[in-house]
Structure 1
Amino acid sequence: MKSTQRWLLPAVGGLLLASGTGSLVLEVVWSRSLKLIFGSTTLAVSTILVAYMLGLGLGGIWGGRLAGRVKNGVRAYGVMEMGVGLYALAVPFLLELYPSLHKALLSGWSFWPAAVVRFLAVLALLLAPTLCMGATLPILVTSLIRSAGGFGRHVGLLYGLNTLGAVVGTLGSAFFLFGAVGLRWSNVVGAGMDFLAGAVAFFILAPRIASVTPGDTESERETVSAPLQRTGRRWNTSLLSYGLIGFVALTFEVAWFRLLSMIFGSSIYAFSVMLAAFLLGIAGGSLLIRRWLDGFRDPKAVYALLTCLVGLLSAGSLFIVRALPSLFLDLVERGGITGENLVASGAAVALIALLPGTLALGALFPVACRMNADAAGETGRAVGDVYFVNTIGSALGALIAGFVLIPFLGVRHTLGLAVALALVVTAVHFLFLLEPRYRGQRLAGLASLGIAAVFVLSPPGWDRENLVRGLYYQTVLDLDFGVPLEPMEGGVLSKMLYYREGLNTTVSIHQVPGGVTLRLNGKNDAS
């Protein structure tokens, strides 16, 4: 790296950390605001999520195409981030138009046409800012490679720091901003962070970077191996497989959140620590792999190994589900019954459950970008395509897991299916997409298929009655009213009469001394 450019990577990385924080704050604020209008049913929440992710994915495609044509990518990033900040300030005023639309949909439309119109209305609101958010990564990666070289250290660091910013935004909005200043001023804070990051990029960093004539991509090509033809089945299948990995990731997220919410609740604080734990693993994996990414001689083989790690580490997490309720209760008792310790204990359980698999998931993104860059010989387009397929796969994973897999298969078999899909991707690469140059390659592919079949047919089970004991509810009763916690062993005798994982909640009915209780996600709701 040239001495005059040593400041560039940390400076841009810091901006992506800040804009990642601001963008996540805006996402949470806009989602909560839209839920106040359209409701918080699974369909309404999914509508918002899919519209947001579709905008990000399309932004990745747009940014990938734009990256090779702009002279100064940091200046383009600054314009986009300032645009996001300014648009965000207008969102509360635009939202004032939506209650009348929702009222009209409820009064004069049947269910599915109303759902489609609601989706289009949300997409119209979110498309402009999410396009800009999604476009920034491929543009910045291309700009930094032109200025300083080194594909792996750039894409891994920038993606990791941007995701780490999302962790900060998740925790900051839930634990500080919403309580301190409310939704409207939280929107101003998020908008201000994005605008400030854009202004620093545009007015301070961009003038210090030499503009590059569009099409001058020689420095980009030097950072990857000899370009492969991107026309055969091999590369197209590999790119498609990363979309499937996105599907797997969000299936894991939705199913694990449903599972963990029965242990330590579904409050905004509980949800935030679960999401932060998931994102922290993604960020950590990307930051860890960046050191070695440029030195990989066969990134496709590394990609196959990482998909195997995703499957195996996620499979390993299923074997500890049985112990998680006891672990949560033990941590609560050791630290004392306080609100802070309840959150900290939930965070510890979430990290233990989610971190192994998400570290491997995070490492996959820069490796997939390196594979695509090797094939395309054009970094911006490569990063944008990978970002797009992953985001669309993630949106489909969230939809199908929430609406189809969990209601029909249950959480246990949904998690088993996600493990199996990751291992099927591994098997396809080992058996069909990699050149037959590695010892044991075919055996590894067949073994992956065998393990996948086991997890589809009979994934690890757990004690469902312990999961729906409502431990989080018991801790709240102890904290607020002094009702002592029941031990995991030898507590109140009960017999579970009914258990069903539905679209929105897990319902169970229990025979207890003196009557029958109905529990929703472990909380007693009727008796």
Structure 2
Amino acid sequence: MFALFAVSGLAALVYQSIWTHYLGLQLGHAAYAQTLVLAIFMGGMALGAHWASRWSPGRRRLLLAYAAVEALVGLAGLLFHPLFLGWSELSQTILLPAAGPLGLGPALQWIAGALLILPQCVLLGATFPLLAGDWLRRGHSGGEEARVLGGLYFANSFGAALGALVATFLLLPRIGLPGAVAVAGALNLLVALGALMLARRHPEPTLPSPPSAGNAPVARRLLAIAAASSACSFVYEIVWVRLLNQALGTTLHSFELMLCAFILGLALGGAAVRGLAARIGDARRWAGAMQVAMGAAALLSLPLLARSFDWVGWLMQSLARNDAGYALYLLGSALVAIVIMLPAALFAGTTLPLFTLALRREGGGEPALGRIYAANTLGAIVGVLATVHLLIPLLGLRGALLLGALGDIALGLALLAQRRNALFKATLLVAPCLALAVLFGRIDPLAQASAVYRTGEASLSGARVLSMEDGKTATISVVQRGEGLSILSNGKPDASITSLRSPPTGDEATMLMLAALPLALHPAPREVAMIGWGSGLSTHALLASQRVERLTSIEIEAAMARQARAFGERVQRAYLDPRSILHIDDARTVFAGSPLRYDVIISEPSNPWVSGVASLFTVEFYRLLRGRLAEGGLLVQWMQTYELDDALLASMLAALLEVFSEVEAYAAGDGDLILLAPTGPLPAVLPAAWGEPALVAQLSRVGLDTPRNLLFHRIGDARLLRAFVAWQAQPAHSDFLPRVALEAPRARFAGRSSELLQSLIGHGLPVLDLLGCRPPQALPAWRWDGLGSAQRQRHWLAAELAAGLRGGAASPALLRELPAYAASLESLLALSRRLDRASLPLWTYELAVVAGAALGPLPPSTLQGALIGPDWLDPDDADLRPAEAALALSMLDAAARRDPPALRRWAGELLEADPNLISPLLRSQAMELEVLAAAALGQRSDAARREPELAARSPLIGWLSRLPAEGTGCARAAYTRP
């Protein structure tokens, strides 16, 4: 029976984990959605336990009833996914559009969500009273009662702790949500089969005597205390998770490890009751002692939480940033969670069997099993709702935990009220614990804002926390560092803005480009929706255009919008303009229930490794957004490329490309992509957007003051992006296989980046020009101190090198800002005056350095006299130069002219030359150019196969080598020649 109930507990936690994902897709991930999902789960359990307590007395064959319940749960698990899909299709196509105008959409979603999981929850709630009732009927009484109750509670909770790990670390990565819920269903069927075999093997126990009337007031008191104890326990769990999120990171992995640590503590509490069964005489006194000990342990968790940031910092600094290091980091995270949670959770785990035992001894009999279980789960519902929606907003995280701990201590003292000696001992225990919690349990705000799980530093140096607020879903803080302000969610910066006296941040460039692109491309952006508030700068910039009639911003955390007021006049239109409407809700919930059709939807959520956010980058969510776009509408999607690898980015891009046939990519701030996905053909840039002075004043700060400057950031269209996806061979990211949520935390820990797409702008080689995805253009002479992005810095460098070649010397600005490149330029010019075979390897190296920085960003017109018809070479010395030098110059001339046939010829010939005379850097560039020219011509290249060691150094070669045979098709006709 222990083994059966352990497997049942494992399946139950798999259900809870998977149902949270499923219902989050329908109901959203906002705080009230999460708590109501848990309320449905716990409420169903309470109903099931209450039903069992009323049904089981006088009934025979409880073990068969238990088997039947497990079988029904299993069948429901096997049918859950198709039922969910059918309901989703029906609701999104028929019911929600009809109910939306009546304001009934949210209620309809909640009724449906409850109906999807409530029957199974009711059945799960009945399992403990049925199984425990059968076992206790088999002659177990006195101390044996405690052994049975504690043992069953241990087995079920231990299985549940394993279930939390199995769901996230084993099932989800391999078989996704449908497979995981099916596995849970299969486990329930196995448990049902095992229970059926046990029932046939062992004779049916005799019916127990009807329960006596007992002491009704004492029974009611025990039920109330059991409910209140459970409520306090959930206060701890929620606060622990919220505070540990700031130390360990708000990821799916961290949450499941914390949940496992908490449930493991509950399981050990059940084991303790089983082990101490012979000594438990007065169950009420033992329950009171456990309540006091639980509150004291919860108080002591506060000083440990304050130290957790240092422990995580030590972990981050000690571990290698790779997959093995991440596995050790997860192990360390689990240990941190166990140290903080397990003591109080262990005492909490003793209370349910002790309260049950006490109620049975007060004459509650067999119904006590279900009545206590029902009271316990109802208390959990109250605890969850009160903590999230009342205690945290009013008292903050620390205050909520202190109140919960004192509440448990008060409950324990109430149970010990008749025993003065016990009261005195309890006071001696509690007083020092309370003093330690008050004196050493205050967490340094600089630690909370440090994002130690990313940086390895347990405090923000040189910064000042201006404000901090514990919201319903995250702790939001505003931090000042120098002239800049940042707004952070659980320590992770979501937006940074500097004063107008300082250069703009990369975040500013991204936020303003998110506003600029739809205003520049959509002729009438009257109805606009924005996902994610951040600093409010994007909303502020959009409202600078009078063409926007209404802007609906959707933010999941109200504290984010409140704290962003600290940015002052930089975001004031977001708060003061009557066209600005703010919804505090989950984006899925808003769009699923909204009857509106938007001209533009801008999606700028948080990072996809944050738990719950990855669902905003899936095929299913993009289908929902497309259905909410008006005819000719435009989706503007932000994606990060930092803390993410190529495979994960490709998976998210594949999801977007599956729903929108025409997608265009722009590079924004360093590490940020902006994707444009129209419902029809890609629109052209409209110069009218630059006729609005208030908007231009915003865009000029980040160099977007002309259409030409905006187009400079264009990477390419859907064919280029599909080639990137094909290179990685990744399936589209789906709600039902959440790879990004599971794998992105690992990529973040390892410090990976997907830099290829962004690097194509300003790349040293003319990749986008030759593929036809971005025509070359002459740009203004930017100043170094006004560039604001790596792409512009590369363009500035290219222009300086080209001018230096033509002028015969490096400029003072180049010597000052990038002296290494200036030195290569001067060395190349000096070597060219006396070039021979002895100096050829060094000459080809310096040539590769200069050409590799100047070729890509500049159009042919700007490269005249530099790499096309070079003025810096004496024409009279042409016949005296080594043949290899002539090959190198011919190859670079063809590249500068964007002539793929000639480029393929000269690059191929250079690769055939003596490798001892050509620097490895130039040979690598020759291979990249040969493969690039072949791709532009829609041909295959075997250059990479001839020298795999050289090709392995370049991700560009790996990508180009896997392009479809017809190339990207961006503008192939321009290079198709006889």
| TM bracket (short chain) | 0.7 to 0.9
Q: CA deviation at 1:355?
A: 0.6
Structure number with higher helix proportion = 1
Pairing partner for 2:178 from 174, 181, 184: 184
Q: 1:413 to 1:384 in 2, by over 3 A?
A: same
Alpha-carbon separation, structure 2, partners of 1:70 and 1:171: 37
Unaligned 5+ residue runs, structure 1?
1-11, 222-226, 475-484
2:267 corresponds to 1:283: yes
Q: Which amino acid aligns with 2:464?
A: K
Could you list the per-position Cα deviations for residues 135-177 of structure 1 after superposition, in whole angstroms to 9, with x for gaps in the alignment?
1111111211222522111111111111111111110110111
Q: CA deviation at 1:26?
A: 1.8
Pairing partner for 1:101 from 91, 101, 120: 91
Alpha-carbon separation, structure 2, partners of 1:402 and 1:19: 29
Q: Which amino acid aligns with 1:467?
A: Q
Alpha-carbon separation, structure 2, partners of 1:294 and 1:122: 45
Q: Which amino acid aligns with 1:415?
A: L
Pairing partner for 2:332 from 345, 352, 359: 345
Q: 1:317 to 1:348 in 2, by over 3 A?
A: same
CA contact (8 A) 1:257 1:274 kept: yes
Pairing partner for 1:416 from 374, 393, 402: 402
Could you list the per-position Cα deviations for residues 353-381 of structure 1 after superposition, in whole angstroms to 9, with x for gaps in the alignment?
101100000011111111011012513x1
Which residue does 1:461 correspond to in 2? 442
CA contact (8 A) 1:311 1:419 kept: yes
Which residue does 1:523 correspond to in 2? 492
Q: 1:514 to 1:339 in 2, by over 3 A?
A: farther
Pairing partner for 1:61 from 50, 58, 67: 50
User: Which range moved further: 123-132 or 183-192?
Assistant: 123-132
Q: 1:145 to 1:40 in 2, by over 3 A?
A: same
Q: Which amino acid aligns with 2:414?
A: V
CA contact (8 A) 1:307 1:422 kept: yes
Alpha-carbon separation, structure 2, partners of 1:167 and 1:197: 18
Pairing partner for 1:504 from 433, 449, 473: 473
CA contact (8 A) 2:299 2:433 kept: no
CA contact (8 A) 1:468 1:523 kept: yes
Q: CA deviation at 1:82?
A: 0.8
Matches within 5 A, 1:425-440: 425-431=411-417, 436=418, 438-440=419-421
2:280 corresponds to 1:296: yes
Q: 1:413 to 1:243 in 2, by over 3 A?
A: same
Q: CA deviation at 1:331?
A: 2.9
Matches within 5 A, 1:18-97: 18-97=7-86
CA contact (8 A) 1:13 1:157 kept: yes
Q: Which amino acid aligns with 1:101?
A: S
RMSD: 2.6
Alpha-carbon separation, structure 2, partners of 1:53 and 1:77: 19
Q: Which amino acid aligns with 1:506?
A: T
Pairing partner for 1:127 from 118, 138, 141: 118
Q: 1:442 to 1:271 in 2, by over 3 A?
A: closer
Which residue does 2:129 correspond to in 1? 138
Which residue does 2:890 correspond to in 1? none
Alpha-carbon separation, structure 2, partners of 1:182 and 1:61: 34
Alpha-carbon separation, structure 1, partners of 2:114 and 2:215: 32
CA contact (8 A) 1:58 1:388 kept: yes
CA contact (8 A) 1:144 1:154 kept: yes
> What SS class does the counterpart of residue 319 from structure 1 fall into?
helix
CA contact (8 A) 1:332 1:341 kept: no
2:365 corresponds to 1:378: yes
Pairing partner for 1:229 from 214, 227, 231: 214
Q: 1:424 to 1:107 in 2, by over 3 A?
A: farther
Q: Which amino acid aligns with 2:26?
A: I
Pairing partner for 1:208 from 191, 201, 206: 201
Unaligned 5+ residue runs, structure 2?
497-978
Alpha-carbon separation, structure 2, partners of 1:393 and 1:456: 25
Q: CA deviation at 1:38?
A: 1.9
Could you list the per-position Cα deviations for residues 164-208 of structure 1 after superposition, in whole angstroms to 9, with x for gaps in the alignment?
111111101101110011111111111100111111211x21101
Q: 1:261 to 1:449 in 2, by over 3 A?
A: closer
Q: CA deviation at 1:34?
A: 1.4
Could you list the per-position Cα deviations for residues 81-120 of structure 1 after superposition, in whole angstroms to 9, with x for gaps in the alignment?
1111111112112212433436745774589965444333
Alpha-carbon separation, structure 1, partners of 2:19 and 2:381: 18
Could you list the per-position Cα deviations for residues 385-416 of structure 1 after superposition, in whole angstroms to 9, with x for gaps in the alignment?
11111101001111111111112211010011
> What SS class does the counterpart of residue 408 from structure 1 fall into?
helix
> What SS class does the counterpart of residue 280 from structure 2 fall into?
coil
Alpha-carbon separation, structure 2, partners of 1:250 and 1:144: 29
CA contact (8 A) 1:424 1:448 kept: no
CA contact (8 A) 2:291 2:412 kept: yes
User: Which range moved further: 58-67 or 184-193?
Assistant: 58-67
Alpha-carbon separation, structure 2, partners of 1:68 and 1:209: 20
Which residue does 1:406 correspond to in 2? 392
Could you list the per-position Cα deviations for residues 441-460 of structure 1 after superposition, in whole angstroms to 9, with x for gaps in the alignment?
45457779989998999993
Higher RCO, 1 vs 2 (CA within 8 Å, ≥6 residues apart): 1
User: Which range moved further: 310-319 or 291-300?
Assistant: 291-300
2:189 corresponds to 1:195: yes
> What SS class does the counterpart of residue 204 from structure 2 fall into?
coil
Q: CA deviation at 1:267?
A: 1.0
Q: Which amino acid aligns with 2:169?
A: F
Q: CA deviation at 1:343?
A: 1.1
Which residue does 2:153 correspond to in 1? 159
Q: Which amino acid aligns with 2:71?
A: M
CA contact (8 A) 1:62 1:135 kept: yes
Could you list the per-position Cα deviations for residues 51-71 of structure 1 after superposition, in whole angstroms to 9, with x for gaps in the alignment?
111110111111222332332
Alpha-carbon separation, structure 2, partners of 1:117 and 1:504: 24
The total of aligned residue pairs comes to 488
Q: Which amino acid aligns with 2:91?
A: L
Alpha-carbon separation, structure 2, partners of 1:349 and 1:172: 20
Alpha-carbon separation, structure 2, partners of 1:374 and 1:110: 56
> What SS class does the counterpart of residue 217 from structure 1 fall into?
coil
Q: CA deviation at 1:293?
A: 2.7
Alpha-carbon separation, structure 2, partners of 1:200 and 1:137: 16
2:249 corresponds to 1:265: yes
Alpha-carbon separation, structure 2, partners of 1:140 and 1:67: 10
Alpha-carbon separation, structure 2, partners of 1:447 and 1:109: 59
Which residue does 1:477 correspond to in 2? none
Q: CA deviation at 1:121?
A: 2.2
User: Which range moved further: 105-114 or 49-58?
Assistant: 105-114
Which residue does 2:316 correspond to in 1? 332
Alpha-carbon separation, structure 1, partners of 2:113 and 2:435: 41
Please, what TM-score do these two structures have when normalized by structure 1?
A: 0.86
User: Which range moved further: 98-107 or 174-183?
Assistant: 98-107
Q: 1:470 to 1:97 in 2, by over 3 A?
A: same
Please, what TM-score do these two structures have when normalized by structure 2?
A: 0.48
Q: 1:74 to 1:196 in 2, by over 3 A?
A: same
